[in-house]
Amino acid sequence: MSDTNKKVVLAYSGGLDTSVMIAWLKQKYGLETVAVLVDVGRVSGLEELRAKALDIGAVEALVVDAKEEFARDFILPALAANALYEQKYPLVSSLSRPLISKVLVEAAREHGAVAIAHGCTAKGNDQVRFDLGIRALAPELEIMAPAREWGMTREQAIDYAAENGIPVPLKKESPYSIDENMWGRAVECGPLEDPWSEPPEDAYEHTVSPAKAPDEAAYIEVAFEAGVPVSFDGVAMDLTALLAGIDELAGAHGFGRIDMIENRLVGIKSREVYEAPAALALIRAHRELEDLTLPRELAHFKQGLEQKFAELAYYGSWYDPLMDALRAFIAETQKRVTGTVRLKLYKGGCTVVGRKSPNSLYETGLATYGAADSFSHDAARGFCELYGLPLEVWARKGGFRE
């Protein structure tokens, strides 16, 4: 690829590496860069970043607002699946990569690019997610990963930037590698690489330390319609606003931190820190509402699929036919999941303290140990027989004494 008119679409973040790539792709391969910055929430200074890409020499720089699509097509299915990789991680970065891939492919087609480049290194999961996402959607496009190829250290990249008139971030570099979007924030590297040492406070940005959380608990109510959160404390809002509202409140109460050892797709164990107050609170609330509304066998069966969903999403297999089928099944289960959940936020904790639903399968008459109920002894015996329950349940109703 040495034809000067050939174009490459670059997944541009505005950071040092992807800035350097604009110059490097031109020097090494004679490619003109179309820089594409995809906004999936929580990016600031979009206009400056766009201008910077053009300054460095990109022939085109686009900022694509994909927040709504991210919420609707990626976050909602993940919430419906209560998706937590290895029971802990709400798939913050994993969910955005397939969407960013899609936007890149669209840009490549629109601008007649022959390749797509991303800034991932060879150690992480994100490279696989981009490679698989792009390959699934546009097998004809070449995929380039300059950082896997050039072998530059951070210092070398800074030198390269200086030699090529690329502005280098002035403020002291954060020791962390951070990726964030409206579903949460992922933090890696630096002092976190020692799995024995406690994450420094400065690793966190959206949550306070539980020790500094208010002494007074806060209560929130989230209402769902068919599995979709539709209101927060009685106020109807779209998912973007709802996430921002819960993030702020739950984060202020010290909830939402995760410190875990994670099995990466590439065969490495890594120590990861996340903060995702809204994602974790919503999954908790949603799960609770399912407990109230889904029949037992469906609830149990769904759990196995949830784990598979989380794995596939983590592995970057979003466009795999199995994923389509899982999503379809899970969507079917959500029809009943309507109601309201009340959460209590207190000193780093988030507990469900109330739930109600027009589709509730909870019957006070069946559940009560008290005397006052409308459930007849005959009905109790019939119920025990039908479900193979020990007759003591019936006996508890006073059946044997009658």
Catalytic residues: 17, 97, 126, 177
Q: Which of 143, 394, 181 lies closest to 276 in space, CA to CA?
A: 181
Residues between 100 and 139 that touch ligand ARG (CB under 6 A):
124-126
What's the min distance (Å) between Cβ of 115 and ligand ARG? 21
Size of the site for ligand ARG (CB under 6 A): 12
Choose one: 3-11, 99-107, 174-182, 287-295; the region binding ligand ARG (CB under 6 A).
174-182
Give the distance from CA 65 to its chain's centroid.
17
Phi, psi of 295 (to 5 degrees): -65, 155
CB 247, CB 220: distance < 8 Å: no
Q: Binding to ligand ARG by residue 186, rule CB under 6 A?
A: yes
**Between 272 and 288, whose beta carbon lies closer to ligand ARG?**
272
How far apart (Å, rounded) are the C-alpha atoms in residues 202 and 346? Answer: 22
What's the min distance (Å) between Cβ of 100 and ligand ARG? 12
Helix or strand run (H / E) with residue 102: helix 92-110
One-letter amino acid identity for 111? H
DSSP letter assigned to residue 85: B
Q: What angle do CA 122, 125, 127 make, to 5 degrees?
A: 55
Q: Write the interaction track for ligand ARG spanning residues 235-264; mark x where CB under 6 A is met and - where it is not.
A: ---------------------------x--
CB 75, CB 182: distance < 8 Å: yes
Q: Binding to ligand ARG by residue 272, rule CB under 6 A?
A: yes
Q: Binding to ligand ARG by residue 275, rule CB under 6 A?
A: no
Could you give the count of Cα atoms lying within 13 Å of 241 in the half-sphere of its Cβ?
A: 8
Binds ligand ARG (CB under 6 A): choice among 177, 231, 240, 360: 177
Give the pairing type, strands 7-11 and 218-225: unpaired
What's the min distance (Å) between Cβ of 198 and ligand ARG? 19
What's the min distance (Å) between Cβ of 109 and ligand ARG? 26
Binds ligand ARG (CB under 6 A): choice among 17, 32, 60, 179: 179
What's the min distance (Å) between Cβ of 114 and ligand ARG? 26
Q: Binding to ligand ARG by residue 94, rule CB under 6 A?
A: yes
**Between 77 and 339, whose beta carbon lies closer to ligand ARG?**
77
Q: Binding to ligand ARG by residue 180, rule CB under 6 A?
A: no
Tokens of 27: 């020097």
Tokens of 13: 């973040």
**Between 19 and 125, whose beta carbon lies closer to ligand ARG?**
125
Choose one: 34-42, 177-185, 283-291, 373-381; the region binding ligand ARG (CB under 6 A).
177-185
Q: What is the DSSP string of 13-78?
A: -SSHHHHHHHHHHHHHH-PEEEEEEEE-S----HHHHHHHHHHHT-SEEEEEE-HHHHIIIIIHHH
Binding site for ligand ARG (CB under 6 A): 93-94, 124-126, 177-179, 186, 188, 262, 272
